Chains A and B, each alone.
Chain A
């Protein structure tokens, strides 16, 4: 089932920088309010100017296309979609995109606690730890929107392996060093660089003993 998205077609240049267009979260809203609209070609025929955005669910995956009116009518008469929003290229509204996202999400339910995918998308809340496995694919854009990242970095419980702890510390300190250098705080950076060298030395010494 496909749906028209409420918003202007994106340029290729912008679409590269953005997460999937059907997903927009408040945390990343600023990306979407500032973008400029550039004309782009229809992603179906690659000839006419794209004027509408069209979302289609195929095998549970949402595909977002920027298409011309002719291709839109071919898509719709082909029985694969129907019109949800007007075709005027107005700035996208978060709520309407979220509605599309919810409506087009497959009806997935956590077998352990009964949490439905729609609830996860609506309020960003889960019911139990198994929800993280059940909804793992769908959650990726949500996590990216909220945190700009998908993988944990930092404290790990019950780590007995000293070398693993040193590796984690090194990872953190290197990230901090990058931030500090961007801020041009060179004195702090020098101290941090020394700490990194010490940790690297400790890791190297450990390697020698292995």
Chain B
């Protein structure tokens, strides 16, 4: 069941949105809870089954089941669950949770609805390529309206939509923008950029590991506050913080190219040489190579491939995706070999 889904490419891979080189994708997630149940962390197994049934009936009445499929995590094995996690279609807490829970995924994987995650009965997530904060919120808003018809959401006049997680109460809206910032890393400006985002009441964290590790130069920018600001204000502020960070990245690129163009050419050239020749690649190394190639593409140093392929390779270089290709579990060395084969085949 999951293999069919995984064989299809998510819509955000297409890199068709604004600033798609620097911004891989924009995601918005909306926390909602059923008014007559405790939050999932305090639900019994029976209650989780009942809340799951009710959400499924609502998905059906909103005609969503015809445009996607629902995967119960109780029926998926560990490998399939890991596949969904690597695609960012489910959270770690849903993956490691207990009881009736699952995820609805639209055919183009631009919409996923997590059911009975740790803190919320529903977490509606919309993903779009590039920087599309307003578009993502508009779609989320529409889906929320559709689901609010059959479902009675827990809401309080003072603090808004209720969540088991106090950091999500209020609008329940968390925007999450995946950024590629190699020049800020090269210029040692990541910590200053992180401080700036904190000053703006947002958070910036490494997409794969910590911020200071900077693996693959990929970072996630999120709004911290969900209470006291309306959805439109949250979207507005996220977009402007992202635009400011992109401005910093572009300035850093100009400076690096001015000060030491050979260093950049060397980085991109080495990456191209490595992906063409390597026989073993660990995931961290693959991430960094793909980052260098993306940088080369953005500054016009290389051609012959495009952002959609880099997005695809980024996801397919992960463990469960590589194992899927061989349909069996592999040790680290075998995985590294498969990863190197994958990249070599693309850039030969």
The verdict on A134 contacting chain B, using a C-beta distance below 8 Å, is no
The answer to whether A112 and B38 touch across the interface, beta carbons within 8 angstroms, is: yes
CB-CB under 8 A from A157, the residues of chain B are 148, 153, 155, 161
8 Å CB contact of B229 from A125, A128, A146, A153 = A153
Q: How far is the CA of A30 from the CA of B154 in the complex (A)?
A: 33
Pair A148/B230 contact, Cβ less than 8 Å: no
- Closest-CB distance, A151 to chain B (whole angstroms): 6
Q: Mark A105-137, 1 if CB is under 8 A from B, else 0.
A: 000000011110000100011111100100000
Interface residues contributed by chain A, number (CB under 8 Å): 38
Is A149 within 8 A of B229, CB to CB? yes
Q: Are B232 and A176 in contact (CB under 8 A)?
A: yes
How many angstroms from the CA of A8 to the CA of B155 in the assembled complex? Answer: 41
Interface string of A159-183 (1 = CB under 8 A from B): 0000000001001110110010001
Which of B4-12, B64-72, B167-175, B310-318 lies at the binding interface?
B167-175
B141 to chain A, nearest CB (A): 7
* Smallest beta-carbon distance B318→chain A, Å: 29
| Chain B residues in 8 Å Cβ range of A154 | 160, 170-171, 173, 229-233
What 0/1 pattern do residues 282 to 316 of B give for CB contact below 8 A with A? Answer: 00000000000000000000000000000000000
Beta-carbon contacts under 8 Å, B249-291 to A? none
A151 vs B35: C-alpha distance when bound (angstroms): 19
Residue among A115, A146, A173 with the highest chain B CB neighbour number at 10 A: A146
B92 within 8 A of partner (CB): no
Interface flags, B195-212, vs A, CB<8A=1, else 0: 000110100000000000
**Cβ B156 vs Cβ A129 within 8 A:** yes
* Inter-subunit contact B233/A175 (CB<8 Å): yes
Whether A158 is near chain B, meaning CB under 8 Å from some CB there, is yes
A129-B35, A171-B230 given; A143·B159 CB < 8 A: yes
Known A113-B38, A125-B41, A129-B35; judge A146-B225 contact (CB<8 A): yes
B contact residues around A148 at 8 Å (CB): 201, 225, 228
Contact status B38-A147, CB under 8 Å:
no
Which chain B residues border A155 with CB–CB below 8 Å? 141, 144, 160-161, 171, 230-231
By a CB distance below 8 angstroms, the chain A residues around B224 are 27, 146-147
Chain A interface helix/strand/loop/mixed: loop
Query: Do the beta carbons of B35 and A172 come within 8 Å of each other?
Result: no
Give how many B residues have a beta carbon under 8 Å from the other chain's beta carbons.
45
Chain B residue contacts of A183, Cβ below 8 A: 240
Chain B 25-46 near chain A by CB (<8 Å), digits 1 or 0: 0000000010101110110000
Q: Does B124 contact A (CB under 8 A)?
A: no
In whole Å, how far is B156's beta carbon from the nearest beta carbon of chain A? 6
B166 in contact (CB, < 8 A) = yes
Q: Jot down 29 A-B pairs with beta carbons below 8 A, ordered by A.
A: A27-B224, A113-B42, A120-B166, A124-B166, A126-B162, A126-B166, A128-B42, A129-B39, A132-B156, A142-B166, A143-B159, A148-B201, A149-B170, A149-B228, A152-B157, A152-B160, A152-B171, A153-B230, A153-B233, A154-B170, A154-B171, A155-B230, A155-B231, A156-B155, A157-B148, A157-B153, A176-B233, A179-B233, A179-B237
Q: Which residues of A contact B (CB under 8 A)?
A: 27, 30, 112-115, 120, 124-129, 132, 139, 142-143, 146-158, 168, 171-173, 175-176, 179, 183
16 extra A-B contacts, CB within 8 A, seeds A124-B167, A146-B227 = A27-B224, A30-B199, A126-B162, A126-B166, A128-B38, A129-B33, A129-B38, A129-B156, A132-B156, A147-B170, A151-B158, A152-B156, A152-B170, A154-B173, A175-B233, A183-B240
